[in-house]
Amino acid sequence: MTRQKIVAGNWKMNKTLLEATQLTVELHEALGETSLPPHLQVVLCPPALYLEKIKSLLTLLHADHLAVGAQNCHQAANGAYTGEIAADMIASVGAQYVIIGHSERRAYYAETNDLLRDKTTAVLKAGLRVIFCCGENLDEREANRHTQVVAQQLRESLFDLEAAQWQHIAIAYEPVWAIGTGKTASPDQAQAMHQFIRQLIGEQYGKAVAEQTTLLYGGSCNAANADELFACPDIDGGLIGGASLKAKDFSTIIRAMK
Ligand code: PGA
């Protein structure tokens, strides 16, 4: 069985609507006619405000290999939560993915493992796929606690799920010290953590689930280092921040995923 590969671009809070549409068109042109491997899914995660627009633009361009996803959602189905967006709303504009638990949301919006479990449940209920982020900070890495931290994040947020729900979950390992810092985890460090995560899933859900789960690396992944990261056996793609804001760089990263 070939595991699904994913290269996702997390645009974070960047780009006006015009810039976002330009980037989408440029990316489509940069990818050109060359077909991508059938098991590779490219996901664009613009600010939620533009999801519908980018989705219809992709339809117009016949860019069927590109999906869109949101960067966050609320855990409730609907209700009096001023300023928030529910998973059903994201689904209703044609998005297919939601990033949950990004380290910036954990750090700046105090999102806990418990809350992220509820958000994950909400996303799955809406029929969407989850890109669940985990990763340790620099202190935790230096104290050699990185595997422990990641294991706790996954156990507390995801390990109540049914085995069948795992076909809708991808995990992005993003060491916090590598995000937006230009400091990438070495392929050895990244592969070791990915292998650990797959083993952990295997212990909880069995080998078949572990082997089918897509594991992404994120954190200063760019056009120059994507090749060696993606060549690692347990790395099935990337969650790309800064480098996804430039069509040329992002298309190079997408092509690095064979
Ligand atoms: P970066 O961000 O590629 O800019 O380091 C990755 C992410 O935050 O998902």
What's the number of domains the chain is made of?
1
Q: Is 241 in the pocket of ligand 1 (CB under 6 A)?
A: yes
Rounded to whole angstroms, how far apart are CA atoms 65 and 146? Answer: 34
Query: Which residue is listed with tokens 């990316």?
Result: 27
- In sequence order, the β-bridge partners of residue 7 are 42, 238
CA-based Rg of the chain, rounded to a whole angstrom?
Answer: 17
Query: Beta strand 129-134 with 5-10: parallel, antiparallel or unpaired?
Result: unpaired
Residue 222 Cα to ligand 1 middle (Å): 9
For a mutational test of ligand 1's pocket, the pick from 221, 222, 225, 229, i.e. the residue with the most ligand atoms closer than 8 A to its C-beta, is 221
Which distant-in-sequence residues (6+ apart) come within 8 Å of 226 by Cβ? 238, 252, 253, 256, 257
Rounded to whole angstroms, how far apart are CA atoms 55 and 75? Answer: 23
The domain in which residue 190 lies consists of: 5-256
For residues 257 and 37, the answer to whether their CB atoms sit within 8 Å is yes
Spot the catalytic one: 28, 102, 146, 194: 102
Provide the pLDDT for residue 163: 98
| 187-205 vs 146-158: helix crossing angle, rounded to 10 | 40
| Tens digits of pLDDT across the chain (258 residues) | 789 999 999 999 999 999 999 999 999 999 987 788 999 999 999 999 999 999 999 999 999 889 999 999 999 999 999 999 999 999 999 999 999 999 999 999 999 999 999 999 999 999 999 999 999 999 999 999 999 999 999 999 999 999 999 999 999 999 999 988 888 889 999 999 999 999 999 999 999 999 999 999 999 999 999 999 999 999 999 999 999 999 999 999 999 998
CATH number at residue 84: 3.20.20.70
Rounded to whole angstroms, how far apart are CA atoms 90 and 48? Answer: 8
What are the backbone dihedrals phi and psi of residue 212, each rounded to the nearest 5 degrees, phi first? -90, -15
Provide the pLDDT for residue 184: 86
Which among 250, 234, 222, 197 is positioned nearest to 43, based on CA atoms? 250
Provide the pLDDT for residue 64: 86
For residues 68 and 46, the answer to whether their CB atoms sit within 8 Å is yes
Q: Is 221 in the pocket of ligand 1 (CB under 6 A)?
A: yes
